[in-house]
């Protein structure tokens, strides 16, 4: 799954308002109306549900909410105040707020908490509902032998509760403006690289307090998911640092990161890490060594396999058990769209490699089968591929900011025939859970 946090207006789950909070857009009000005696049956938004809770919830329900707020206070208090202030300030980013609020002067924050008390309480309730429903979903999944596999962005958004609350941990100046930002150099996706705009970490500060911020973040992710993919794992060994004034990522430089110390600390805290390393792009021997030392599988993308020669690591014969194979990710076109966009010579290469002159079945099912028969320990098939959708269903095009994150799954698309076909393929290649 993509990250679950509340997004900015562009909808990107990789630029969230918080690395702990859940998006209120996932709350199911119909389900709430059926299950919660205090919720009006016609409640279609948070305000209606909150009013019902305030009027009709019993002491047990209110104590449950209070317990949630207390347990999650380490992030929830800052998040709720941040969102309430952001709304009060016309949705402006925190670094454009009045100085007293931007710099979190105690008197200004105390006054804001008083003025915005009602809204803050409602925001607490919103997160309570999200986590309550998510935990029910996860329990239901577990009861049916299903694990949840989620994605954790390596960086957080500049305009986020975390950077506002603890600016000393990030590469921002006294006015909250970025000094350096994250991204990657020119690669497969972009000739000028990708300038993501996230502030970088001041790693020396994180090391000094025993990576407390990372431990708290990881603890939240483990509550949400059974397996976690660390997006841009490469950045834990060395990251591409771009001066904030640069408009592209071309003028950045690689800077070493304390990934070994961080992962060792996380393992000491949480035990064996149920983590998949997103090791795409420019990967060095040092990055691979870091991943392997901590027993983390890497990624193999089949859509990347047919560019180059027989030593291409994404070709199926080069896969290894310590990897996860994907037909494509949210940053790729759908497999059908990819196939229809290939040039003639690449199509011929795909034909020759996979099956000779004629394809035994049409895309995307041919590539789905190749993923399932890989020796990789886990195979991931995007929903768009299972539904045989084309480019119109692409989730994201890296390096662009318009027209992304809009595709939505309609449950009527997954017919019994599609489900049966997938189950048979999973069983055929020995991937059916015991």
Catalytic site residues? 231, 278, 331
Q: Which residue has the tokens 């690689």?
A: 254
Taking the CA atoms of residue 101, residue 106, residue 111 and residue 116 in that order, the dihedral angle to the nearest 10 degrees is: 60
Give per-residue burial for 180-213: e unless 16+ CB within 10 Å, then b. bbbbbbeeebbeebbbbbbbbbbbeebeeeebeb
Runs of H (alpha helix) within 278-343: 285-293, 335-340
What are the E-state strand segments in 294-406?
A: 298-301, 323-326, 378-380
Rounded to whole angstroms, the Cα distance separating 317 from 147 reads: 28
Give per-residue burial for 68-85: e unless 16+ CB within 10 Å, then b. bbeebeebbbbbbbbbbb
| Dihedral class, residue 11 (left if φ above 0, else alpha if ψ from -120 to 50, else beta) | left
């Amino acid at each position: 799954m993509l990250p679950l946090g509340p997004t900015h207006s562009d909808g990107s789950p990789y630029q969230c308002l918080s690395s702990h909070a859940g998006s209120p857009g996932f709350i199911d009000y119909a389900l709430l109306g059926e299950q919660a005696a205090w919720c009006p049956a016609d409640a279609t938004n948070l305000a209606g549900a909150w009013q019902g809770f305030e009027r009709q919830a019993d002491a047990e329900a209110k104590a449950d909410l209070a317990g949630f707020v207390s347990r999650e206070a380490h992030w929830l208090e800052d998040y709720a105040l941040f969102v309430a202030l952001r709304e009060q300030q016309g949705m402006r980013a925190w670094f454009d707020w009045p100085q007293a609020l931007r710099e979190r002067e105690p008197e200004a924050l105390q006054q804001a908490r008083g003025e915005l008390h009602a809204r803050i309480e409602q925001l607490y309730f919103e997160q309570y509902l999200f986590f309550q429903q998510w935990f029910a979903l996860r329990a239901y999944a577990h009861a049916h032998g299903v694990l949840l596999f989620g994605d954790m962005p390596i960086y957080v958004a500049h305009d986020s509760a975390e950077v506002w609350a603890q600016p000393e941990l990030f590469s921002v100046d006294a006015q909250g403006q970025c000094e350096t930002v994250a991204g990657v150099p020119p690669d497969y996706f972009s000739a000028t690289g990708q300038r993501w705009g996230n502030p970088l970490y001041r790693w020396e500060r994180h090391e000094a307090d025993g990576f407390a911020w990372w431990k708290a973040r990881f603890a939240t992710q483990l509550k949400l998911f059974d397996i976690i993919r660390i997006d841009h794992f490469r950045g834990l060994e060395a990251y591409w640092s771009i001066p904030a004034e640069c408009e592209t990522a071309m003028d950045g430089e690689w800077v070493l990161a304390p990934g070994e110390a961080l992962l060792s600390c996380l393992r000491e805290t949480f035990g064996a890490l149920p983590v998949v390393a997103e090791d795409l792009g420019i990967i060095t021997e040092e990055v691979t060594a870091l991943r392997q030392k901590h027993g983390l599988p890497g990624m193999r993308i089949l859509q990347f396999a047919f560019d180059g020669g027989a030593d291409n690591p994404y070709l199926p014969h080069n896969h290894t058990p310590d990897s996860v194979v994907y037909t494509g990710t949210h940053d790729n076109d759908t497999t059908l769209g990819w196939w229809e966009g290939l040039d003639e010579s690449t199509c011929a290469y795909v034909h020759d490699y996979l099956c000779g002159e004629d394809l035994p079945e049409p895309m995307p099912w041919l590539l789905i089968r190749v993923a399932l028969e890989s020796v990789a320990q886990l195979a991931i098939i995007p929903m768009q591929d299972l539904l045989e959708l084309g480019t119109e269903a692409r989730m994201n095009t890296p390096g662009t900011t318009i027209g992304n994150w809009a595709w939505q799954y309609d449950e009527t698309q997954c017919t019994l025939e599609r489900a049966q076909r997938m189950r048979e393929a999973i069983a055929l290649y020995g991937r059916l859970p015991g």
